[in-house]
A and B are shown apart, each in its own frame.
Chain A
Amino acid sequence: DAMVIQNPRYQVTQFGKPVTLSCSQTLNHNVMYWYQQKSSQAPKLLFHYYDKDFNNEADTPDNFQSRRPNTSFCFLDIRSPGLGDAAMYLCATSRDRGQGYTFGSGTRLTVV
């Protein structure tokens, strides 16, 4: 089945220790998104790639970066995680911007 796969499902990292979350897709979608979702809140867009074109949200902290080495994979790098970065991180894809999103199951990040 075509899908969006996020690894790992759960990630525990130490305060200040760099961490990378990964996302892969078999849908061959052009656009890949990273969202941050904190408890009982709506998903908040961090950035997205349209093909290789990177689009950062204005309020995304510099601590968050992303890489998309090819169509199938996208990575979220958190350079120095703080306690406030503990959240569910959701990857999503769409064939074109803004429509028909498919979400992965998310990675729950804990910062200790």
Chain B
Amino acid sequence: QQQVKQSPQSLIVQKGGISIINCAYENTAFDYFPWYQQFPGKGPALLIAIRPDVSEKKEGRFTISFNKSAKQFSLHIMDSQPGDSATYFCAASKGSGNTGKLIFGQGTTLQVKP
């Protein structure tokens, strides 16, 4: 119930294309869904996050789509650039109580070809 399943494991996209990464969760108590971007040798950096009271959140080229009934959420990167090449992790947490820890998905390695 604590798992977050992420797919695909790896993704290759041409420059200018749309990158789509999907995640699914089981625990309906989760109320915070962030996406992290990690470059080699660096710690993860928060990219964008959403709460279950909205179905979509957009920040620049990055959009989270959230489907509460399906318990799924996805990251869309529009106009993908070579500089977006990194590993992306989705995560989920329950923000209240004493178990508010982030559960990470398995990660997606994105390569954007010039």
Closest Cβ–Cβ distance, residue A44 to chain B (whole Å): 8
Given contacts A42-B105, A42-B106, A45-B101, contact A98 B44 (CB under 8 A): no
Interface size on B, residues (CB 8 A): 26
Indicate whether A70 reaches chain B with its CB closer than 8 angstroms. Answer: no
Question: Which residues of chain A are within 8 angstroms of B89 by Cβ–Cβ distance?
Answer: 42-43
Indicate whether B62 reaches chain A with its CB closer than 8 angstroms. Answer: no
The answer to whether B106 touches A41, judged by C-beta atoms less than 8 angstroms apart, is yes
The answer to whether A98 touches B106, judged by C-beta atoms less than 8 angstroms apart, is no
In whole angstroms, what is the CA distance A4 to B42 when docked? 12
Closest to A100 in B: B46
Contact of B43 among A42, A55, A99, A105 (CB under 8 A): A105
Which of B49, B94, B96, B100 has most A Cβ within 10 Å?
B100
Question: Which residues of chain B are within 8 angstroms of A45 by Cβ–Cβ distance?
Answer: 101-102
CB pairs A–B below 8 angstroms (12 shown): A6-B43, A33-B101, A43-B89, A48-B101, A50-B98, A98-B94, A98-B95, A98-B100, A99-B100, A103-B44, A103-B45, A104-B43
**8 closest Cβ pairs, A-B complex:** A98-B100, A97-B100, A103-B43, A98-B93, A42-B104, A98-B95, A106-B43, A105-B43
- Chain A: residues with CB nearer than 8 A to chain B? 4, 6, 33, 40-43, 45, 48, 50, 55, 90, 92, 96-106, 108
